[in-house]
Chain A
């Protein structure tokens, strides 16, 4: 674990971990509420958001794009709700209609506008550029304490850390109402909790996590982390507190293992080069989920004997 590790692998791994945890945290509640695919929908509509932001500002810079993505996520959530209510359509289908249409619009805008010259393409939005978030100024573990080197950290790292911290604090503060509203909406409503407001807050923080993460790590990780770690965690325990802890652990494990396997895995089997880190993180989270499906202590459905 020498200076090379600090330079090339430390920051991507940390960014991946924060992104994974920031997505997994709201994912726990989305899964309980059967809204797991909100993450999928949001990460698709992020694309038109960035394209529109680029067309308006004409520059590829972080803040306009983040704002555009956040705006698109908000528009998508509102449209899904509008289609569901106005058309009296079940939520899954409403979601499918909205996010595919917006995504198609994004692709069309992208092809129509001359954005291919700048670094803005669909693959980037899908796969992110985790591998490129290296910390060039680091010269070893000592740099962690060196203010000059620290000021050259990739900006994605502090941003992702802040977003994760924010979501963690919000989750802790609203723990009880979130828990009640997710497990038993009727009961929560009877207690006088603002159930729809809680739901909106949850979706908003999920969108914030997705938007902050997609830029650094791409939407594959976002979708996978919203669902796989919380789903695996749900099969490990019956208690929500423990489930959240498991999901964070699984998210970290996926990010670390995925990045290491993507970077060094091909070398170990004698091949050269590396494979997509974002894809590998998703694959590792899938393996963890598969193991949890096979061996998780709380995997069975209620009323069905384990393994039955």
Chain B
């Protein structure tokens, strides 16, 4: 446990601290970058991008070895992965535009075929003499264990650059993600912004390869934005909240993994963000499950209260247990089912409002106003005092 706290406070060695900061930056970039995709309803495009990096990693290794290099140089492998991921993206785009296949079919096709090609290349590399110790399998699930100092610098620096780019491009990207039609009408080049968005996601994927691996980087691009969505209705707030959620997951995950060698970094980071997601799903205000249950119950109580008061005003017996409970709790009804004074007054008011509403619906053909009759909104909220007085005179005349 103390190991964990020292890692959390960046006291567990320079390399571990760098990895933690890098993971936080990467998590921020992934969360914020992923939310543009999520708001654009293209979350799973990142799945195709991530899987499409594998053949690039393999080819880059083969090419570097063929030119007499080491083959394991991380920048070289990352450039290769970026190129093949870009080709995968183009393939998805092309299939969606040029054929009648839907986007999910295009994504699935690209991810499986590119991944298959990558696996083929990995077996080729294993049969090469330089390939036996290549450790390229680490790209599948990520590995911090074999991470060199330069690798950690690359992740931290790359993450910082991507975060900066997201900050610079936040306005057009938010606009396009939220409402592409409106963005186009405002003169934003939607296609170019889309490309920039994809480029950023690609960058996040490539940088995250070494840390979380290509299968799990998808999680960092999808889970934080979905989590953030529970907390806000505003697009820009979602983007930054997703960034923070991603950063927290990355930072805590890296610290945990540094304190216990048996805990692999990638899965830990993903599981922390999944935990944050589950908490948000259940407890977020407004959109969480608990909040909506409470809202439902409050609504139910209001409906029952009103029906109960109407019944009291007509001196009808009340049998519904929930209605009885609510009325008695508020002191509107006695135990024997007779209305108290307060109950009579409240019932009379509700009954009067009901009659006012029926007049209002006869007189007003403005459905925007009378459409608000739901039996719960007080009539004073919809009509002015003058109008209500007018209804009352009409009521007197009718009586």
Contacts and interface: CB of A to CB of B under 8 A. Distances in A.
Contacts of A35: 104
A220 B116 CA distance: 6
Contacts of A274: 123
Given A87-B226, A97-B222, A234 B101 contact: yes
Contacts of B157: none
A127 interface: yes
Contacts of A40: 47, 108, 111-112
Given A97-B222, A97-B226, A31 B111 contact: no
Contacts of A281: 116
Contact of B281 (A86, A224, A234, A275): A86
B216 A31 contact: no
A87 B287 CA distance: 7
B267 A104 contact: yes
Contact of B267 (A105, A228, A278): A105
A278 B111 CA distance: 14
Interface residues of A, number: 66
A89 B226 contact: yes
Interface in A5-32: 31
Interface in A151-204: none
Given A103-B216, A286-B116, A97 B108 contact: no
A79 B55 CA distance: 32
A83 interface: yes
Given A111-B262, A227-B108, A126 B43 contact: no
Nearest to A292: B99
Contacts of A95: 44
Contacts of B281: 83, 86-87
Contacts of A100: 215-216, 218-219, 222-223, 270, 274
Contacts of B116: 220, 224, 276, 278-283, 286
B120 A227 contact: no
Interface string B246-279: 0000000000000000111011101100100100
A90 B29 CA distance: 22
B237 interface: no
Given A40-B108, A224-B112, A279 B99 contact: no
Contacts of A278: 116, 119
A268 B34 CA distance: 44
B271 A105 contact: yes
A94 B225 CA distance: 11
Interface string A65-80: 0000000000000000
B195 interface: no
Given A36-B105, A104-B274, A122-B141, A96 B100 contact: no
A93 B109 contact: no
Interface in A251-302: 262, 266, 271-276, 278-283, 285-286, 289, 293, 296, 298-302
Report the contact-size class of chain B (Cβ under 8 Å from the partner).
35 or more
Contacts of B230: 87
B339 interface: no
A276 B108 contact: no
B226 A101 contact: no
Contact of A36 (B99, B104, B114): B104
Contacts, number: 205
B218 A282 contact: no
B368 to A, nearest CB: 27
A88 interface: yes
Contacts of A275: 120, 123-124
Contacts of B225: 93
A276 B120 contact: yes
Interface in A206-259: 220, 223-224, 226-228, 231, 234-235
B28 interface: no
A271 B121 CA distance: 14
Nearest to B142: A107
Contact of B119 (A94, A126, A286): A126
A93 B108 contact: no
B162 interface: no
Contacts of A266: 124
B44 A88 contact: no
Contacts of B119: 126-127, 220, 276, 278-279, 282
B289 interface: yes
A300 B289 contact: no
B43 A228 contact: no
A227 B107 CA distance: 9
Minimum-distance CB pairs A-B, first 7: A282-B116, A286-B113, A100-B219, A279-B119, A104-B270, A224-B112, A96-B222
Interface of A: 31, 34-37, 39-40, 44, 83, 86-90, 92-97, 100-101, 103-105, 107-108, 111-112, 122-123, 126-127, 220, 223-224, 226-228, 231, 234-235, 262, 266, 271-276, 278-283, 285-286, 289, 293, 296, 298-302
5 contacts: A36-B107, A89-B229, A101-B219, A283-B117, A283-B120
